[in-house]
Amino acid sequence: MQSVPQQKSLVVGLGVSGRAIARHLTRLKQPFIMADTREYPPGLEAFRAELPGVEVHCGDLADLDFDAIDEVVLSPGVAPDTRGLEKMANRTCATTGGPSIIGEIALFSRACQVPVAAITGSNAKSTVTTLLGDMARDAGVKVAVGGNLGTPALDLLHSHPDAELFVLELSSFQLETTPLLGATTAAFLNLSDDHLDRHGNMQRYRLAKQAIFQGASHALVNADDSQTWPLQAVPTLERFTTQPPGEGEWGVAVHQAQDWLMHGEQPLIPCRSLRIRGRHNQANALAALAMGTYLGLPRDSMLETLKHFPGLPHRGEWVADLDGVAWINDSKGTNVGATLAAIEGLGPTLSGRLILLAGGVGKGADFTPLAEPLARYAREAVLFGRDASLIQAALGTQVPVMRCDDLDAAMQRAQVIAQPGDVVLLSPACASLDQFANYEARGELFRRWVMSRVRGQE
């Protein structure tokens, strides 16, 4: 059994976050050893070159002598119940008096001295994180944006020493090892089936997400999803909805004969002024506005940012309008839940019909939940890729279907049948690996195809 010198932390995981943890502890001059459960983890030699004085253990954690470990810091990809860690599960850290197993965000919260806006949810957290960061930046705030999105939180501390605000996207994996976040404002956007292979069931998944409210001053939750509501008291609680809002809520209502984003009875901006489309993106906009308002960002500035925000690449991204038809790239929609959110978000806002482009590697998913909303909103489902036949079988006779060999043919079909007011939505509900290197390559093909037609009209 390998022994460990006294008073060393153990960092587990040689991924991006694990390396950020190691750099942070090195800057603090806090002794630690590195571990990874894989015998030959990727990046091992690069890590040794970057931090040559750090001892590294590769393989079963049970081979370590945990008697000398004061605290274990986990990368998000490492589950707290990983074999070997049971030796630390019921211990208290002698240095902090808190849990002996924590994660990167717990280290961040110890070190951070400025306000933090934290966002979690099964879907849309990247969009809200980026939008709120843009709002803060446009308002003149020195903001650092990252976490589960982009730069790890601990690296942000080092790269942005003058930051006045941190805006962090946080996953359930990060939150389950964060005993006290202490965010200034914390948002839980939505909850749907995901990561059950890690958490075991929806209750444990929800509880992991709920950690975002620990020590928060302000909580923002989804009025239409009670699973997002905090299980503990929070000093200030606000809600957003895609329905007409109640007093103090953020919502969507008819004003001057069109849909507007609202704060209570106060109209904010017409929904048609937004570049991001659909009810789900209206909810994202409301969440960013609510958090920005609590942080003291000027409303006029936030609304101006919102007018120009195109969405994130491959995540409900408006690409262009062609002959009165909007083309939207949601290639990141690699599962049924994501595609369902896109359909149900766009459907109620359409003056025409929806043309869905879907297909690829279905990963054994059940596609039947797509049938009912497509029956309500779709002109046609244009299917391509390996599992197109499975999607067609799940849709049955409720939705007109056209099968195509590939995405290029599917886009050609969509252009032929589209009418003014329609939306062509690439949201495949499948992985891309039958015909593409990744979902980004799939979305790039969609974008290039659409923009070539736009240029052809110029």
Catalytic residues: 125, 148, 195
Among candidates 87, 99, 90, 70, which has minimal Cα distance to 8? 70
Residue pair 167/119 in contact by the 8 Å Cβ criterion: yes
Please give, one letter per residue, the 3-state secondary structure of the chain: CECCCCCEEEEECCCHHHHHHHHHHHHCCCCEEEEECCCCCCCHHHHHHHCCCCCEEECCHHHECHHHEEEEEECCCCCCCCCCHHHCCCCECCCCCCECEEEHHHHHHHHCCCCEEEEECCCCHHHHHHHHHHHHHHCCCCEEEEECCCCCHHHHHHHCCCCCEEEEECCHHHHCCCCCCCCCEEEECCCCCCCHHHHCCHHHHHHHHHHHHCCCCEEEEECCCHHHCCCCCCCEEEEECCCCCCCCCEEEEEECCEEEEEECCEEEEEHHHCCCCCHHHHHHHHHHHHHHHHCCCCHHHHHHHHHHCCCECCECEEEEEECCEEEEECCCCCCHHHHHHHHHHHHHHCCCCEEEEECCECCCCCCHHHHHHHHHHEEEEEECCCCHHHHHHHHCCCCCEEECCCHHHHHHHHHHHCCCCCEEEECCCCECCCCCCCHHHHHHHHHHHHHHHHHHHC
The owner of tokens 């990744």 is 438
